[in-house]
Amino acid sequence: MYPRKIAAASLLIFNWLFYCSVHAACEKEFDEYKSDLEVLRILSRFNNNLQSGDIELIKKSMNFYEHIPEGPPYYFESSSFFKPQLQCMINTYGEKLKQLTIARELKNSAKKTTEAKNNQAHGADEGIVYFPSDTKCLRRGVTKDGYETYTNTCSTTIKFGYCHVHPRDENDITGCKAESSTFSRSGYNYITQAGGLEPGRTHTKGYAYEGAQVTFLVACRAGRSPLIESFNSKKITAASKANMSCWAFSNTKNAKGE
């Protein structure tokens, strides 16, 4: 007799500890089940998920309760008398997701703002200087198959960048296109193809273009980077003139003039 009483007392204490350990979310809806161990386990798991702050875990749990299978082993969750508790958990998960999503967006926004300020400070401390293009270091050629080439004829590494006026087809990504650039004075860089050439090395274009093709080409000595900052016309044509330059941080050896 005594062992049974002890076991019963232990179960009540265990249930009470479960009940006291859970968060207040949906506590009112679960109040009538505070002596049911299985239901308290459900509530405990629910609140542990809430307190985890794990967006993916909460999404997964919410989706499970929104599409919960009927019958065992989900007797309590899928039963009709458990609908108020189930709906409360779904609603609470939804609110928690909104809070966590907003918090994550604010955190990411703050991070981007901080990074932008750091980049601005970095640029302000170092400064940027600009140089004209060194295209005289690149000799143009054409292979027997009609592919255009550029060979580095100087004794230093050359960084190059270019774009085309006439893309070959819809899959050709070499056409001149503006992209945001921190280092461009216009805020944009139109270069779509770039690379580096050691002395004597040759770059071969990926397409053999038929007919007239116009290439805007920038060449920069080692440590400097190419830019096509703007054009003198809104629509880029063969007659357009490009503002091209090379940039480097002012406190580096590459910032010294030639």
The whole model's pTM is what? 0.50
Rg (CA), the chain: 33
Region 173-188 average pLDDT: 91
Return d(Cα 32, Cα 23) in angstroms, integer.
16
- pLDDT tens column, 111-165: 776 666 665 555 444 689 999 998 899 999 998 888 889 999 999 999 999 999 9
Q: Which neighbouring-strand residues pair with 196?
A: 159
- Please report, for residues 44, 48, 65, 243, the alpha-carbon distance to residue 55 in angstroms, rounded to integers and kept in the order given: 18, 13, 16, 48
Task: Pick the most confident of 13-22, 63-72, 90-99.
Answer: 90-99
Which of the given ranges, 46-55, 101-110, 235-244, has the highest pLDDT on average?
235-244
**Whether 175 and 85 share a structural domain:** no
Do 114 and 181 fall within a single domain?
no
pLDDT in tens, 26-44: 777 777 776 677 777 887 8
Q: Is the domain of 107 the same as that of 171? A: no
The answer to whether the beta carbons of residues 162 and 213 sit under 8 Å apart is: no
Residue 154's contacts (CB-CB under 8 Å, 6 or more residues apart) are 134, 137, 199, 221
d(CA 240, CA 206): 24
Q: Is the pLDDT of residue 210 over 70?
A: no
pLDDT value at position 25? 66
Residues 144 and 82 placed together within one structural domain of the fold: no
Same domain? 40 vs 118: yes
Closest Cα partner for 19 from 34, 29, 33, 6? 34
The stretch 169-189 carries a mean pLDDT of: 88
The more confident residue out of 211 and 249 is 249
Q: What is the CATH number of the domain that holds 210?
A: 2.60.40
Domain count, the chain: 2
Enclosing domain of residue 216: 129-255
Decide the pairing of beta strands 188-189 and 242-249.
unpaired
pLDDT band of 20, cuts 50, 70, 90: very low
- In this prediction, residue 6 has a pLDDT band, given cuts at 50, 70 and 90, of very low
Distance between CA atoms of residues 234 and 214, nearest Å: 17
Residue at which a domain ends, from 122, 157, 183: 122
In the chain, the percentage of residues whose pLDDT exceeds 70 is 78
